[in-house]
Structure 1
Amino acid sequence: MEQFLMRAKRRLLPWLLCLVHGIAMAIEAPTDQPTLRWMTIDFPPLFMVSGPEHGVGDYAQGVAVANLPGYEHVLQAVPPNYQRIEQEMKNRENVCFAGFLKTPERERFMTFSEPYLLMLPVQLFISAGHAALAQENGAVDLRGLLDTGTFRLGVLGGRRYGATLDQVIDSYGERGPVYRRYSKDQLRGLINMLMAHDRAIDGVLAYPGEITYLSKQESSVPRPLRAYPLQGSPAAIFGYFACSRSRLGQAVIASIDRTIPHIRAEVAALYARDLAPPARAAYASLVYAQWGIRLPRE
């Protein structure tokens, strides 16, 4: 695993050099090369643009940039708010981001790559002190739970969770059993709300790796939490590069697609790094069945 991480860091060096060169050139002189604006957020563990580690999204983005020499690349840090990135893509023709789910709504103004990341499905996390939730065939009916009127769910504002869950969440307005958090500390803030004494929310939707990562950080996630699978969730969720739906964006995605088969194995290993052992075992089976990738041993 240590050798893999060293290799991943070496692969990121061309990206960093390319970004520095692109930003310097953009400042110093005009250029005939088209400019790509890469949205980046600090939202661990998928995006870790500060600190010594790299997340799945910034690693994949770095490889893509290093393989796109015909463009000037500008890195634009934005708050971890998916709606902000969506708005940038609606308003500009040269915006790209390495961490979106594909939805019909987004496809109206985004061009998507082939999937480069396979993720375990979102789960419902509650405090272990909360009463156990009713399940059917080993999973919770989210709509039925919210319709009881006694359970309030916390979600990240602007995030998409997959077609089935999005339909449930979107059916509730800004008021009611779904609370949408848009602040900078979206997930950490939701967990703090969940664990507070007066408990403003009863549950949080999150990916298993996110919770595992936060639990390793000092004072981030008071333990214990209980996780529940959700009815209608697929066995796996795919992550994509996305660019503005424009001629430029389509050309960029076509170039990125040629690199994706070569990065999936390292992306999968990075993603698995933040999974608890049972989840890692389940993920290893999924990624092998889908892409024939064997995860490196820890």
Structure 2
Amino acid sequence: MVHRRPSLASRMLVLLLLCIPSPLPAKDTVTWMEAVFPPFYIQSGANQEQGYGDIVTDILQEHLSDYEHEEVITNITRHFYKFKQGEKVCSAGLYKTAERDAFMYFSIPSFITLPPVLIIKKENIANFGHQTTVPLADVLANKGLMIGLAKDRSYGKTLDAILEQHKGQGNLVEFTGQELSFNLFQMLLRNRLDGIIGLPEEALYQAEQMGIRGQVLTLTLAENLQNYDGWMSSVGCSKNAWGKEMIEKINAILLEQRPTERYRAAYERWLDAGSIEQYRKAYSEVFLKTRP
């Protein structure tokens, strides 16, 4: 049998093939679920993508460079459908609840915000006894007051428990939709609602955008003075092996980034000057001390 040596051309072809780099595996894609809740997320206008949720999501994406990232804007009900389906989705700021724990893994706190308040028309303060601090339970017990809130949104364990007790009442109305914050304010101005449950910076932002800053007032909810439950929220990812790995990586990023000025300023820039001292105290004494 005659063995022929490979030709020079054949040997060169083999060498060339060996030198060609193998194609890199495609990056995994994380879908970040967002909602229209300025100034948490801001999708349009002069401050587009400068909401505190936008900034923190950017920080996480920058440190998860091994992944591709995309954002999807939809209502909260649709968010939860994707989580329940086990898709590769995360969201930057969610309250941890027993219901959500069934289909999400949660990070350490990713945000500390001033707690939810009751937003009213200033001219209607008499309906609330001329008080600037009111118990939510007492407000809901007054069937003459119509209170609006976002469907499927959590307001922290303490307030959620009270809302659950009053669920189905004719004076507690849940709403859904894309421009929910704006629509709730419209109903408040038209006296279709007596109050809205929301975050104070949402009230300030929306009122300024609508040119009604002097017409609205926020009332402290007495139940939020008992603990920090309504102050802190976390990153949530789907409850599967992929989500568990993501949360472990996100926890490491949060521990590194939360002490930075950029991270703290993401939310602080939306506060009025009188709230900053209180916020920084809670940030350093409570928020930064949370661990996995």
TM-score range, shorter chain: 0.7 to 0.9
Q: Could you say what secondary structure the match of 2:214 adopts?
A: coil
Distance 1:242 1:220 in 2: 34
* Higher mean displacement: 171-180 or 99-108: 171-180
Matches within 5 A, 1:131-170: 131-134=126-129, 139-170=133-164
Pick one of 258, 275, 280 that aligns with 2:276: 280
Pick one of 209, 215, 218 that aligns with 1:224: 215
Distance 1:205 1:35 in 2: 34
CA, structure 1 residues 134+164, in 2 after alignment: closer, same or farther (shift >3 Å)? farther
Q: Which amino acid aligns with 1:166?
A: D
CA, structure 1 residues 52+226, in 2 after alignment: closer, same or farther (shift >3 Å)? closer
Distance 1:30 1:104 in 2: 40
Distance 2:107 2:135 in 1: 32
Q: Which amino acid aligns with 2:177?
A: S
CA, structure 1 residues 39+285, in 2 after alignment: closer, same or farther (shift >3 Å)? same
| Residue 35 of structure 1 pairs with residue 29 of structure 2 | yes
| Residue 99 of structure 1 pairs with residue 83 of structure 2 | no
Pick one of 107, 116, 129 that aligns with 1:113: 107
CA, structure 1 residues 220+189, in 2 after alignment: closer, same or farther (shift >3 Å)? farther
Task: Give 1:59 shift.
Answer: 1.5
**Uncovered stretches (5+) of structure 1, i.e. residues with no partner:** 1-28, 294-298
How many residues were matched structurally? 259
Distance 1:283 1:36 in 2: 31
Query: Percent same amino acid at aligned positions?
Result: 27
Q: Residues 181 and 206 of structure 2 are in contact (CA less than 8 Å); yes or no, is this contact kept in structure 1?
A: no
Q: Residues 27 and 67 of structure 2 are in contact (CA less than 8 Å); yes or no, is this contact kept in structure 1?
A: yes
CA, structure 1 residues 32+240, in 2 after alignment: closer, same or farther (shift >3 Å)? same
| Residue 59 of structure 1 pairs with residue 55 of structure 2 | yes
Matches within 5 A, 1:1-298: 31-51=25-45, 53=47, 54-73=50-69, 75-79=70-74, 81-130=75-124, 131-134=126-129, 139-174=133-168, 176-196=170-190, 199-217=191-209, 219=210, 221=212, 223-233=214-224, 234-235=227-228, 237-264=231-258, 265=260, 266-291=262-287
Task: Give 1:106 shift.
Answer: 0.7
Q: Which amino acid aligns with 1:153?
A: I
1:196-238: CA deviation from partner (whole Å, max 9, x where unpaired): 1xx1110011111111112322x35453222221122134611
Find runs of 4+ consecutive structure 1 residues off by over 4 angstroms.
29-32
Q: Which amino acid aligns with 2:200?
A: P
Distance 2:108 2:130 in 1: 35
Q: Which amino acid aligns with 1:276?
A: D
Q: Which amino acid aligns with 1:93?
A: E
Task: Give 1:166 shift.
Answer: 0.9
Q: Residues 86 and 240 of structure 2 are in contact (CA less than 8 Å); yes or no, is this contact kept in structure 1?
A: no
Distance 1:182 1:50 in 2: 20
Q: Which amino acid aligns with 1:212?
A: L
Largest Rg, 1 or 2: 2
Q: Could you say what secondary structure the match of 2:266 adopts?
A: helix
Q: Structure 2-normalised TM-score?
A: 0.80
1:102-144: CA deviation from partner (whole Å, max 9, x where unpaired): 11111111011111211111111111111152489x7312222
Give the alignment's Cα RMSD to 1 decimal.
Answer: 2.4
CA, structure 1 residues 35+228, in 2 after alignment: closer, same or farther (shift >3 Å)? same
Q: Residues 33 and 89 of structure 2 are in contact (CA less than 8 Å); yes or no, is this contact kept in structure 1?
A: yes
Distance 2:266 2:26 in 1: 36
Distance 1:181 1:146 in 2: 17
Distance 2:195 2:122 in 1: 11
CA, structure 1 residues 173+288, in 2 after alignment: closer, same or farther (shift >3 Å)? closer
* Higher mean displacement: 29-38 or 246-255: 29-38
1:170-196: CA deviation from partner (whole Å, max 9, x where unpaired): 233445111111022211211111111
CA, structure 1 residues 48+248, in 2 after alignment: closer, same or farther (shift >3 Å)? same
Distance 1:124 1:40 in 2: 23
Task: Give 1:275 shift.
Answer: 1.1
Q: Could you say what secondary structure the match of 2:223 adopts?
A: coil
Q: Structure 1-normalised TM-score?
A: 0.79
